[in-house]
Amino acid sequence: MANIKSAKKRVITSAKRAERNQAVKSAVKTEIKKVRAAIEAGNKEEAAKALVNATSAIDKAESKGVFKKNTASRKVSRLAQAVNKMN
């Protein structure tokens, strides 16, 4: 355990941030799973709606610093590509 006051604070702060980031990542994963499930089911309308929600969640995670810009862009791009591929 840290002995210096600022180090103790950093331990607490980083634990809080890690917990918060984990919650955001989990929410994003859930939205991505909804898109993938709609694609598997072949429901294009549902997939498109789920894609909008997933894109929003990914962009919010990016703005909070959970994902880097390129990571967020890649996730959105691959989901959009999968939805557009449906016929």
Distance CA 16, CA 24 (A): 13
Distance CA 3, CA 56 (A): 42
Query: Looking up tokens 């918060």, which residue turns up?
Result: 20
The whole-number pLDDT of residue 1 equals 77
Per domain, the residue ranges of the chain are 28-87
The whole-number pLDDT of residue 70 equals 98
- Residuewise pLDDT in 10s, the chain (87 residues): 789 999 999 999 999 999 999 999 999 999 999 999 999 999 999 999 999 999 999 999 999 999 999 999 999 999 999 999 986
